[in-house]
């Protein structure tokens, strides 16, 4: 996954969390009663497992091609309409990638729409692995990529059972995680190539949505989701809606009502280019040097570190937000 943060943001978050421990309610809505929606964590975990079983989903690989077919067919099973964007893009080191974004739509003719997104590719090298011998090896990306996709596939399954009152688009972005390795001083927008492509050339002309929700690294057992910095900047009202819903459902252990770091991720380019307010639900860890889960960009990012409880709480929160519209 592609996320880099500002050191000042880390310091600010640590100071914030070490200060007043009383939970702040200012930005959390609580007027509307939220009903716990159906969401099957075993099913979501299965969707994660299937992706990981293909092997690392690195663009241009056989595992990547096989997983693309699986995701497309699974979206067709649940969604009203499915679009596949095939495109080529170039990485920071000049590699030409054959990439695909997949979009599954519910109620495609409904004017009021929201979208849900995750990236489905995995990182081509484990540049944060504690063993330098592993730095050139691709990662499974069970949490960093597959967890968000797994939650969204289960949400698609539930939406097929209970149709929402609005239009919903589920988007799987490709070529998100082939950014420069650790220590590189290379400048440029080399992360999130798939979402940059979609933001500039959406699957439908003049596509608009009220807002978007991005899921990234949502499957760890110790997952914690702060108000990611760019989300608060571009879409504070949607942050309040999501975190408020999570708190009403009793999930304040995961959805922390405190500011987090700004992270370069797919939502940033959608906010900047497509001008659709988009929120990132992403695991941040203030106690690691990277600002992320210890498995981030390591060979430890495997299925053994995926927690059904985290998948369940994220999925139920997002479904509750959808059904509240």
What CATH number should be reported for the domain holding residue 153? 3.40.630.10
Whether the Cβ atoms of residue 120 and residue 107 lie closer than 8 Å to each other: no
Give the range of the structural domain holding residue 73, as residue numbers without chain letter: 7-14+26-176+190-324
More confidently predicted of 307 and 184: 307
Q: How many domains does the chain have?
A: 1
pLDDT digits (tens, 9 = 90+) for 154-206: 999 999 999 999 999 999 999 999 999 988 888 899 999 999 999 999 999 99
Residue 1 belongs to some domain of the structure: no
More confidently predicted of 28 and 45: 45
DSSP string covering 4-45: ---HHHHHHHHHHHHS--SPP-TT---SS--PPPP--HHHHH
Residue 293 belongs to some domain of the structure: yes
Global pTM? 0.91
In the prediction, which pLDDT does 32 show? 57
Report whether pLDDT(21) > 60. no
- Average the pLDDT over 225-239 and give the result: 98
Residue 181 belongs to some domain of the structure: no
In the prediction, which pLDDT does 2 show? 52
Residue 21 belongs to some domain of the structure: no
In the prediction, which pLDDT does 287 show? 84
Residue 270 belongs to some domain of the structure: yes
pLDDT digits (tens, 9 = 90+) for 100-148: 999 999 999 999 999 999 999 999 999 999 999 999 999 999 999 999 9
Residue 183 belongs to some domain of the structure: no
| Paired sense of beta strands 211-216 and 167-173, if any | unpaired
Residue 224 belongs to some domain of the structure: yes
In the prediction, which pLDDT does 187 show? 87
Residue 185 belongs to some domain of the structure: no
Indicate the angle between helix axes 229-248 and 308-324, nearest 10 degrees.
Answer: 90
């Amino acid at each position: 996954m592609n996320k880099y943060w500002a050191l000042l943001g880390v310091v600010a978050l640590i100071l914030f969390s070490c200060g007043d421990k009383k939970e702040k309610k200012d930005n959390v809505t609580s007027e509307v009663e939220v009903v716990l929606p159906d969401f099957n964590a075993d099913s979501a975990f299965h969707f994660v497992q299937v992706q990981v079983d293909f092997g690392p989903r690195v663009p241009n690989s056989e595992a990547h091609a096989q997983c693309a077919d699986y995701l497309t067919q699974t979206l067709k099973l649940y969604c009203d309409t499915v679009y596949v964007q095939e495109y080529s893009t170039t990485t920071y080191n000049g590699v030409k990638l054959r990439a695909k974004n997949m979009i599954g739509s519910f109620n495609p003719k409904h004017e009021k729409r929201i979208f849900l997104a995750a990236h489905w590719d995995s990182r081509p090298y484990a540049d944060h692995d504690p063993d330098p011998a592993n730095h050139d090896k691709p990662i499974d990306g069970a949490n960093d990529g597959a967890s968000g996709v797994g939650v969204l596939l289960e949400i698609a399954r539930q939406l097929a059972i209970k149709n929402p009152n609005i239009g919903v688009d589920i988007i799987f972005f490709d070529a998100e995680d082939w950014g420069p390795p650790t220590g590189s001083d290379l400048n440029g927008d080399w992360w999130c190539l798939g979402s940059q492509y979609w933001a500039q050339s959406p699957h439908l002309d003049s596509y608009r949505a009220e807002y978007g929700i991005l899921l990234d690294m949502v499957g760890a057992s110790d997952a914690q989701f702060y108000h990611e910095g760019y989300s608060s900047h571009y879409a504070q009202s949607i942050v309040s809606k999501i975190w408020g819903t999570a708190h009403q459902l009793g999930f304040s252990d995961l959805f922390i009502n405190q500011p987090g770091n700004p992270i370069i991720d797919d939502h940033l380019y959608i906010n900047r280019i497509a001008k659709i307010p988009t929120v990132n639900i992403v695991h941040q860890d203030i106690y690691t040097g990277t600002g992320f889960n210890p498995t981030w960009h390591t060979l430890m990012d495997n299925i053994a570190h995926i927690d059904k409880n985290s998948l369940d709480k994220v999925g139920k929160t997002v479904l509750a937000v959808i059904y509240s519209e």
